[in-house]
Chain A
Amino acid sequence: MTADDWRTIGLTAELAASSTLLLLLVGTPLAWWLARTHSRLKPLWASLVAMPLVLPPTVLGFYLLLLMGPQGPVGQLTQALGLGRLPFSFAGLVVASVIYSLPFVVQPLQQAFEAVPERMLEAASTLRAGPWDRFANVAVPLARPGFVTAGVLGFAHTVGEFGVVLMIGGNIPGQTRVLSVAIYDHVEAGEFTQAHSLAAGMVVFALAVLVTLYAVNRRARDDESAPR
């Protein structure tokens, strides 16, 4: 593998890590709200979160490009704030990844929060725990398997994205060139050996991630099936 390939791998990992972190920060309150709300707007919000599952990445990328571009509302805002333009920058990729991978983080978290028995939260409140305390010290620990799933899926899904990256980030080495795009380039250039080493790496990575995830979830289920 070339130095460029290594740089690409590093950048991809950095993108996935920062997106995952942001996703957990944004996704946790959103998932908590979706899990507990009786609002009539819940189906709408749940659908908005799930949109990236259904939309072609290019559609998502296209609209994000328009939104973040110099004429778009988000673009105008970032420029007014002195942050410059997001498209074709690492920050732009992070924003796009967060939106693209949102359902992969929010849905497992929401399911995990929905599985937290109401009586546990009530027990906590009868033991003097206020709302934040209940969330942090009862709901989050009980939803731990959901956080593992959400983090792993969010990371893995961001590593694998292609269409959105191409629309938003282009292919700037060291800035926006990530693994999936690099593999595409290698294939286009007929560099099958290099494409192989990256692609095989991805296969091994994906398998490792999924095996870990299923193992962790099975252990969590075994814990739960013990009498409470």
Chain B
Amino acid sequence: MIDARLRHAYAGFALDVSLELPSSGISVLFGSSGCGKTTVLRALAGLLRAEGRIALGGEVWQDDALGVFVPTHRRALGYVIQGSALFPHLDVRANLDFGARRSAPSEQRIAIDQAVALLGIGPLMSRRTQTLSGGERQRVAIARALAAGPRLLLMDEPLAALDAARKDEILPYLERLHRELSLPVVYVTHSMDEVARLADHLVMLQAGQVLAAGSPVELLSRLDLAAGEVATGRHEAGVVLDAEIVEHDEAFGMMRVGFGGGSLWVGAAGRPLGERVRARVLARDVSVVRQAPGETSILNVLPVVLVGVQTDRNTVLLRLRMHDRDARTPDGVHLLARITRKSCDILRLREGDALFAQIKGVALM
């Protein structure tokens, strides 16, 4: 468990957060610029001195009450920033060695060779850093952070400076890191795509405060958060589902993904049965009908219960519970649907109505 209580005041802005992040998986700090997410990360790294307390498991990195402040270079962490900050006077290999040489052998949780293999940078080892592409630089920066044997990896918008193609080049490596290492990661981003794809634990920040923290499956289906300042504007509301590939339909190039009680057909192929995947369903791709449709081109039609309605000017956001609660998902698994206010009025939708959700699009992340 990573425990942090941090307070920090700037001109016209105050950060005051209390975080409990799981000791494995990727925790994403999400919010618009100026919400304080980078400040939190810098404080965790000790690059910025906020007031409060930071503890990683039993190890205390900062405790103002006890007068403890461990300087950055004595914290077993890795830090990757947007611009990668590779040392221009060293080649790739020397950049990797930099942190590895400075951490005690007992601290080296990840061998250089392993970091090199994980990030696929073997062919780059003797290159000068100036000759690397943006994506390559970022992979080297991540490997360099890993080779120093961190107990916690901090990533500050590591993909923000890259174009879409380069992002797609890096993301599989991040997912691989996530699968193959038990290293906890705190990942800062303002991109909902990265949240949907990477987050195991989500912390939404707004104006220096924690707006909500928890599982992204739950948080992204909450009406108050979906309609709030964080989600609207730049991001269309939508839920994520933790699913598993349960069926292939080779003839039509489709796969069925199951999650708890429900399942959805997805137009994608090439992923093995049983693989865990993240699916994303945007609210605008979901519509509702009262009776089960007879003949429809829409493959994914699920029985749902309307559990929440939120009007947002001329559209209405519906929260739909897809199936009965089970042990794994005690609150049920939800969809969001965005319909017009007029449709809502015509259908006379009320909380508790039994409906069918028609899902036009599902994206596998």
Contact = CB atoms under 8 A, between A and B. Distances in A.
Interface of A: 117, 119-120, 122-130, 133, 137-138, 141-142, 144, 223-224, 226-228
A129 B98 CA distance: 9
A142 B89 contact: yes
Interface residues of B, number: 28
Given A122-B85, A142-B89, A228-B130, A127 B98 contact: yes
B88 interface: yes
B130 A129 contact: no
A141 to B, nearest CB: 4
Contact of B71 (A120, A125, A138, A226): A125
A101 B72 CA distance: 38
Given A142-B89, A223-B88, A122 B130 contact: no
A141 B95 CA distance: 14
A120 B87 contact: yes
Nearest to B132: A227
A147 to B, nearest CB: 13
Contact of B87 (A123, A125, A126): A123
Interface in B51-78: 71-74, 77-78
Across the A-B interface, the 5 shortest Cβ-Cβ residue pairs: A127-B99, A128-B102, A226-B130, A126-B79, A123-B85
Nearest to B82: A119
Contacts of A141: 89
A127 B45 contact: no
A144 B90 CA distance: 13
Contact of A128 (B81, B129, B148): B148
Contacts of A119: 81, 83, 85
9 contacts: A120-B85, A126-B45, A126-B99, A127-B73, A127-B99, A128-B102, A137-B98, A141-B89, A228-B129
Contacts of A124: 73, 87, 98
Interface string B108-146: 000000000000000000000111001000000000110
Contacts of B86: 123, 228
B77 A126 contact: yes
Contact of B130 (A133, A137, A223): A223
A44 to B, nearest CB: 27
A117 B88 CA distance: 11
Nearest to B88: A228
A126 B88 contact: no
A126 B145 contact: yes
A29 B145 CA distance: 30
B45 to A, nearest CB: 6
A165 B79 CA distance: 54
B81 A127 contact: no
A224 B78 CA distance: 26
A125 B73 CA distance: 5
B47 A128 contact: no
Given A127-B102, A223-B130, A226-B130, A122 B47 contact: yes
Given A126-B154, A226-B131, 20 more contacts: A122-B47, A123-B86, A125-B47, A125-B72, A125-B73, A126-B45, A126-B77, A126-B79, A126-B145, A127-B145, A127-B148, A128-B102, A128-B148, A129-B98, A130-B71, A141-B89, A142-B88, A227-B134, A228-B83, A228-B129
B108 to A, nearest CB: 11
In this complex, the member of A124, A127, A223 whose beta carbon has the largest number of chain B beta carbons within 10 angstroms is: A127
A38 to B, nearest CB: 15
Contacts of B263: none
Nearest to A128: B102
Nearest to A142: B89
A219 to B, nearest CB: 13
B85 A129 contact: no
A126 B78 contact: yes
A47 B80 CA distance: 39
B103 interface: yes
B112 to A, nearest CB: 13
A126 B88 CA distance: 17
B252 to A, nearest CB: 45
A112 B246 CA distance: 60
Contacts of B83: 119, 228
B223 to A, nearest CB: 39
B73 A130 contact: yes
Contacts of A128: 73-74, 99, 102-103, 148
B53 to A, nearest CB: 20
A82 to B, nearest CB: 44
A146 to B, nearest CB: 13
